[in-house]
Structure 1
Amino acid sequence: MSSEAYRKSTLSVTSGLSRNAVIIRLEGELDVNAVPVLREHMQPIWDLPPHPFLILDLAEVTFCDSIGMNELISVMQRCEARGTRLLLGGVQGVMARVLSITGLRHAFEVFAKFDDALRLAVAPP
């Protein structure tokens, strides 16, 4: 096993609520070392009753590998199973490129600006 597998995660995860949306902000690298950090942070959110929206703010993600992308797909699948609409906000730079290269750009609801995703989530029905 490489020393990379033992590197400490550089991902910071914070969350909050905004009307009918759970907001998760990721900052740093979304890689093999970060997935346990993200999963640990998400567990209490999955324990809550479902909200209509979950917004992942990816504006400050500086790197994303295939393991990170797999985790985003897992989050999407979990949201679909709960009837929660997943929005990816702040998708620019690294994340825009990774989603485009992998062909997953159209699998997610993607917004270049976090505020656009938030506006959709809090708009009156």
Structure 2
Amino acid sequence: MSSEAPGTSTLTVSSGLSRNAIIIRLEGELDVYALPVLREHMHHIWELPAKPFLILDLGEVAFCDSMGLNELVEVMQRCESRGTRLLLGGVHGVMARVLSITGLRHAFEVFARFDDALRLAVATL
């Protein structure tokens, strides 16, 4: 956890496009305080035409609580309803442990390296 004031989000969200994927990078803490930041960003993503893949780069996520995990599940469900394949890239350290402990590791397509997730999306044209 950070030394930020309680109720302050330490999550940074950025995104970009590739030929057939939307890429979203998360950096910081994916917790209850980060949800408004992530949801606001995702609101704009959901307004875009659907792409075959949405890749969440979690390589710089330092902490994830149950609310953060719940939000990942909601993103997965939204992707499924749009016919978009969700890939989690950069899953190591904290995120790998949290997904494993909660049993969600097998609910997602998980890649230890972001580049491997991107390579899959690019190869699937």
1:13 matched residue in structure 2: 13
For 1:31, the aligned partner's letter is: D
- After superposition, the Cα gap between the structure-2 partners of 1:45 and 1:61, relative to the gap in structure 1 and judged at 3 Å, is same
How high is the TM-score relative to the length of structure 2?
0.94
State percent identity of aligned pairs.
80
Structure 1 Cα separation of the partners of residues 45 and 5 of structure 2:
27
Aligned residues: 122
Q: Is 2:97 the partner of 1:97?
A: yes
Structure 1 Cα separation of the partners of residues 6 and 63 of structure 2:
17
SS at match of 1:101: helix
1:72 matched residue in structure 2: 72
Deviations 1:61-106 (A, max 9, x none): 0000000000000000000000000000000000000000000000
Question: Conserved in 2, the CA contact under 8 Å of 1:5 and 1:32?
Answer: no
For 1:66, the aligned partner's letter is: S
Question: Conserved in 2, the CA contact under 8 Å of 1:91 and 1:110?
Answer: yes
1:84 matched residue in structure 2: 84
How high is the TM-score relative to the length of structure 1?
0.94
**Unmatched runs of 5 consecutive residues or more in structure 2:** none
**Unmatched runs of 5 consecutive residues or more in structure 1:** none
1:118 matched residue in structure 2: 118
Q: Which runs of 4+ in 1 moved over 6 A?
A: none
